[in-house]
A and B are shown apart, each in its own frame.
Chain A
Amino acid sequence: MSHAPAKASSETRKQLFRVWRGDKTAGTFKDYTATVTPGMVVLDVIHQIQAEQANDLACRWNCKAGKCGSCSAEINGKPRLMCMTRMDELPTDMPVVVEPMKAFPLIKDLVTDVSWNYDVKKKIKPFKPRKPDAPDGTWRMDQADVDRVQEFRKCIECFLCQDVCHVLRDHHKHEEFIGPRFLVYTAALEMHPLDTEDRLADLRKSQGLGYCNITKCCTKVCPEHITITDNAIIPLKERVVDEYFDPVTKLFKMFKKKT
């Protein structure tokens, strides 16, 4: 089955939208025909539908610039930001399907309750810097070392990575697994050149790092193009291996501590 993506044109056209309507008790898809003009993104169309055809359609949004992470949804089955999905990227020969995220409880229509994420974040051990390097209370770091963790700080907390992760989405392991977003957050702390806190025991036991089976779906959907799996999750897995699964490294560490 092939679909023709819309070509950037100056023409206004009609496009069928299939939007999820409902709340936590029940819901269904409803069809809306929207007028699409050049340069529009999916969020524009949702706003148009809201203004002209369904005033009670719930959707969360804020910056409309891909930086606040509010308008996360599933567009044609893929977790994406509605404000960053251009209409001319989507096929024109079939309805554009817009659904709420699947890994979180639905509140209404396209709005989900993502508060679980805030609870998770509170349980991650905070930044604990070493003693200052200089008498004036400042530290010295190599820029290259700072750059490594800087990538992780691009996260806008849209939670699309959490949504696409099958451990949360399909297996509902919310009680045992913190999800890619917070593995990135932990990696930013754990790999920070100044940090002295040890989070490996938590990662292995209560935060479920082992549940990740490296599908790389989180990396694929990240609107900030953070290399979540390769640069954050796998390095954390390797650190956990050092600590718990590699007897040689463990022995070497013990020997090093004694000498």
Chain B
Amino acid sequence: MSRVNVPLPQPRSLAETSRQDRWWVQPLAVFLGLTAFLVYANWAAFQASNFFASAAHPTVSLFGGTKSVAHYLSPMYSPVLYDIPGMTSGHAWFGEAPSWLVSLWDFIPGSYSPAFLILIFPAGFRLTCYYYRGAYYKAFWGDPLNCAVGEPGFRGKKYRGEAKLPLILMNIHRYFLYAALVFILILSYDALISYWFTNPDTGKGSFGIGVGSLILTINPILLGGYTLGCHSLRHLVGGKKDCIGAKGLRRTSYECVSCLNRGHMKWAWFSLVWVGFTDFYVRMVASGAWTDYRLF
């Protein structure tokens, strides 16, 4: 591409800017928010315990004080493909973990945790999300630190963006989207069974609403708002067509996804925080630190 024959001004050095506002607040907030979540999520995944409610710490009815066992499962462990040997969660799809799987942790720090088998999917979805990419490139890479703020000088013309490896791999986003859509269904099922409580004496189940049920219900709603507003989904449901049409399923889907997409950043943060909080709540209830109350 031709270029005007006049030298451009030298790029500014790191953080050099004439901006007078608090331009550093936003990237700092993103840095702190994402770092806090990463630290918590890793800690929670390594715990390999207290990720489901059990009879050891039953739910207490707010009116009457009777006890029942909730079926809460932390979203950071859902779905549980294989139970930890000797720990029956009641949520495992394929029973106890086979010995070959557990023995892999001879080479990995910590012990086998069901979270490690599934976290790659939601983590990959967020890592490759268009919103998060823009946000963490600023907050973690300083590329740029913020709009019209100088960058680390060493990059200069070596910048490759997402045109080459490794960041060209971000184009995998839509495959993580497919997984994320399946996860919405799984977490919705978890929310559904959270309304089912078992009497520890008789073993009979009954419908009920616990505080945990509400927390577990809000989770897939927020995740749904985030996932269904995905830029890749917007493209797949209609955006890829030049002629979407004025009416019909494609137009309606495109408009709905576009509507959610306009608030993608807010959905991304609310859902992230809520996933963490839901895990924390289940963890507190499962460990007995907090009592879960049944409202109905």
Chain A residues close to B by CB (< 8 Å): 1, 3, 24, 74, 76-79, 91, 94, 97, 99, 102-107, 113, 115-116, 119-120, 123, 141-145, 148, 164, 166-167, 169-176, 178, 190-193, 195, 206, 208-217, 220-221, 229-230, 234-235, 237-242, 244-246
Contact = CB atoms under 8 A, between A and B. Distances in A.
Nearest to B11: A170
A94 B137 contact: no
B159 A167 contact: yes
B296 to A, nearest CB: 42
A209 B148 CA distance: 20
Given A77-B148, A171-B156, A113 B163 contact: no
B42 to A, nearest CB: 25
Interface in B221-260: 231-232, 234-235, 239-240, 242-246, 251
Contacts of A166: 143-144, 151
Contact of A119 (B2, B138, B155): B2
B4 A113 contact: yes
Contact of A170 (B19, B151, B234): B151
B242 A145 contact: yes
Interface string B4-45: 101111011000011111100000000000000000000000
B246 A212 contact: no
Given A24-B6, A174-B8, 6 more contacts: A102-B148, A148-B244, A211-B163, A214-B137, A217-B144, A242-B235
A78 B19 contact: yes
Given A116-B4, A178-B1, A213-B143, A208 B163 contact: yes
Nearest to B155: A171
A77 B172 CA distance: 36
Contacts of A116: 2-4
A213 B148 contact: no
Contacts of B161: 167, 208, 210-213
A206 B163 CA distance: 11
Interface of B: 1-4, 6-9, 11-12, 17-22, 130-131, 133-134, 137-138, 143-144, 147-148, 150-151, 155-157, 159-164, 167-168, 171-174, 231-232, 234-235, 239-240, 242-246, 251, 261-262, 264
B231 A144 contact: no
A206 B1 contact: yes
B141 to A, nearest CB: 9
Contacts of A24: 6-7
A251 to B, nearest CB: 14
A4 B160 CA distance: 40
Identify which of A115, A148, A169 gathers the most chain B CB atoms within 10 Å of its CB: A169
A169 B130 CA distance: 22
A169 B1 contact: no
B102 to A, nearest CB: 34
B37 to A, nearest CB: 20
A193 B242 contact: yes
B240 A142 contact: no
Contacts of A237: 171
A173 B232 CA distance: 27
Given A76-B20, A166-B143, A141 B1 contact: no
Contact of A238 (B6, B131, B137, B240): B240
Contacts of A244: 171
A114 B7 CA distance: 13
